[in-house]
Amino acid sequence: MIYKCASAESFDRFDLGDIEIAEVGLLRASLSTIGDRMVGGVSLRSKRAVVCGETGASSCASAMAVSSLVSASPLKPSTTNGSSVSVKSMAGVAPKKHGSYVEKGHLTTCISAMRAHSPSRFRSLHTEAPEAFNVEAASYSAWLEKHPSALNSFDKVAKLAKSKQVVVFLDYDGTLSPIVENPDRAFMSDEMRATVKELATCFPTAIISGRARAKVYDFVQLSELYYAGSHGMDIMGPAKSSSGYKVSGTRVKDKKGNDVVFFQPASEYLPVVDKVCSILNEITKTIKGSRVEHNKYCVSVHFRLVKEELWESLATKVQNVLKDYPMLRLTHGRKVLEVRPAIAWDKGKAVNYLLNSLGFADSDDVLPVYIGDDRTDEDAFQLLNGMKHACSILVSNSPKSTKASLSLREPAEVMDFLRRLVHWKKWGPEKRNGFQNGRYFIS
Ligand SMILES: O=P(O)(O)OC[C@H]1O[C@H](O[C@H]2O[C@H](CO)[C@@H](O)[C@H](O)[C@H]2O)[C@H](O)[C@@H](O)[C@@H]1O
């Protein structure tokens, strides 16, 4: 296959037109010009190797290259022998943990997972079933002891951040915007946007989302941030962050002439993801309330508005489709099934990529802060757990199994926490403003 380099579209519209062609071409150009130079902490050759699309004899070479990426420590870059790796099947790659039930055909596991991640309505229990509410409240308190509030623990976070470069990673849905029934209407407030904008003047800041990058950009509308859409498979951001950091990686110019960096490890999956998205649209038509959302390298099948008795039927349909596409895998989030390329790439890998691109590979002087609410954020929490210093925060108002250390209840608390970070950076701990009734106020 021959790739040509096209000129870059505007920053937020990089998904459109033939930019996919351009990016692969640029990635290959980078391979030939810089050889095994490390970009983002993993050699470009090995990253290229995780891109796949067809079955064939070289699957072994590809799988070997991929397994080197899988087995590498998140902070210890994988290396290759420098030979060019062909782009072949990923069918031989071991699926990740969330996807394993697809291959095993364990439908019940899938349904249990769907239920487990769709908790009961915590607040309405208060009036509808006070006893159950008390039990839930008690279990939440017990859970809070293990995952204390990041607001109440702010002094500890600030102590940890002292003399370090803080880098902030934010999930979008359920973290910056409240969960709503219609995914198209998951708007973040102007207040939150202003907070994130200010945050980015203090620290390199990235949005790490399951959504298509262009879609999440449309919601956030801040060009100074880094965006990793499609669960980290579509990364782009300014070559120089508004907090002053230069970022390494493949560069192009946007329409305004600004340098941007980008990385898309799953670009060759586009045709198969498109195809499966159309099939899923078709086969879910009969399931009332279901909704299929194309997230470029991933597809979301929403069941928030589907009656619970139909969940099993929906999951069966999705799983049956995926039997014919072993190069895709299934994960799940909050009332959503997520179909994505079965490559060793996730939100954790995207965070690692960005940290390395910012020059913080294996650094003792960085404090990554990651805030997210969903299953797919656990990969990022896991990465942070392997780092010397890190601050991982789960957004949840009910007890959940998580690798995060701290917690926040809802997006409003996320905003308070981010404001405190900004204020700490600008004024230090001494001139702190008021913290009342669980909310932080900057006068
Ligand atoms: O990684 P994220 O940014 O959290 O994206 C994960 C999914 O988020 C969106 O779905 C979730 O939010 C919707 C709007 O509040 C809600 O209706 C849905 O039930 C949630 O699962 C997005 O629509 C999905 O495509 C993402 O996969």
State pLDDT tens for residues 186-196: 999 999 999 99
Answer whether residue 75 is part of any domain: no
Provide the CB-side half-sphere exposure for 8 (13 A, CA).
Answer: 20
Checking if the pLDDT of 33 tops 50, the result is no
Instruction: Tell which of 341, 371, 403 closes a domain.
Output: 341
Q: What is the pLDDT of residue 211?
A: 98
State pLDDT tens for residues 399-436: 999 999 999 999 999 999 999 999 999 988 655 555 55
Task: Report helix, strand or coil for 339.
Answer: strand
One domain for residues 211 and 190: yes
CA of 434 to the centre of ligand 1 (A): 33
Asked whether 314 and 306 are in contact (CB, 8 A), the reply is yes
* Amino acid at site 264: Q
Q: How far is Cα 350 from Cα 283, in angstroms, rounded to an integer? A: 32
Rg of the chain over CA atoms, in angstroms? 21
Answer whether residue 49 is part of any domain: no
One domain for residues 256 and 214: yes
Q: Which mutation among 117, 171, 173, 219 tests ligand 1's pocket best, with the greatest number of atoms within 8 A of CB?
A: 173
Tokens of 288: 């009332």
One domain for residues 237 and 283: no
**For the residues 199-225, what does the mean pLDDT come to?**
96
One domain for residues 193 and 288: no
State pLDDT tens for residues 102-133: 444 445 666 777 776 655 544 555 666 667 76
ipTM of this complex prediction, to 2 decimal places: 0.99
CA of 334 to the centre of ligand 1 (A): 7
One domain for residues 215 and 354: yes
State pLDDT tens for residues 226-267: 999 999 999 998 887 666 666 777 777 777 788 887 899 999
CA of 126 to the centre of ligand 1 (A): 26
Domain CATH for 373:
3.40.50.1000
Q: Ligand 1 atom 6: the closest Cα is on which residue? A: 210
Closest listed residue to residue 53, CA positions, set 328, 298, 321: 328
Asked whether 80 and 46 are in contact (CB, 8 A), the reply is yes
Answer whether residue 251 is part of any domain: yes
* Count of structural domains within the chain: 2
Q: Which position has the token pair 């929490």?
A: 381
CA of 227 to the centre of ligand 1 (A): 16
CA of 295 to the centre of ligand 1 (A): 10
CA of 210 to the centre of ligand 1 (A): 7
One domain for residues 436 and 400: yes
Q: Which mutation among 117, 170, 180, 336 tests ligand 1's pocket best, with the greatest number of atoms within 8 A of CB?
A: 336
Answer whether residue 72 is part of any domain: no
One domain for residues 259 and 387: yes
Asked whether 48 and 85 are in contact (CB, 8 A), the reply is yes
One domain for residues 296 and 334: yes
Q: Ligand 1 atom 5: the closest Cα is on which residue? A: 210
Domain extent, residue 365, equals 147-265+345-440
Answer whether residue 10 is part of any domain: no
Q: Which residues line ligand 1 (CB under 6 A)?
A: 171-174, 179-181, 183, 186, 209-211, 293, 295, 300, 302, 304, 333-336, 338, 374, 376
Instruction: Tell which of 341, 363, 391 closes a domain.
Output: 341
**For the residues 176-184, what does the mean pLDDT come to?**
97
Ligand 1 atom closest to 174 (CA): 4
Instruction: Tell which of 285, 314, 341 closes a domain.
Output: 341
Answer whether residue 60 is part of any domain: no
One domain for residues 227 and 353: yes
Angle at alpha carbon of residue 61, lines to 57 and 62, rounded to 5°: 95
One domain for residues 356 and 334: no
Domain CATH for 297:
3.30.70.1020
pLDDT band of residue 35 (cuts 50, 70, 90) is very low
CA of 178 to the centre of ligand 1 (A): 10
Strand partners, 436: 439
Per DSSP, which regions of 162-272 are E strands?
165-170, 205-208, 226-229, 234-238, 251-253, 259-263
Phi, psi of 316 (to 5 degrees): -60, -45
Answer whether residue 70 is part of any domain: no
Asked whether 328 and 340 are in contact (CB, 8 A), the reply is yes
CA of 246 to the centre of ligand 1 (A): 31
Model pTM above 0.80: no
Answer whether residue 323 is part of any domain: yes
One domain for residues 183 and 248: yes
**For the residues 84-107, what does the mean pLDDT come to?**
34
Report the phi/psi class of residue 4: left, alpha or beta, with left for phi > 0 and alpha for psi in -120 to 50: beta
Checking if the pLDDT of 78 tops 70, the result is no
Q: Ligand 1 atom 26: the closest Cα is on which residue? A: 210
> Which ranges of 10-79 would DSSP assign to H, the alpha helix?
19-34, 44-49, 59-71
State pLDDT tens for residues 279-332: 999 999 999 999 999 999 999 999 999 999 999 999 999 999 999 999 999 999
CA of 181 to the centre of ligand 1 (A): 10
One domain for residues 280 and 259: no
Ligand 1 atom closest to 177 (CA): 15
Q: Ligand 1 atom 20: the closest Cα is on which residue? A: 334
Q: Ligand 1 atom 13: the closest Cα is on which residue? A: 183
* Amino acid at site 136: E
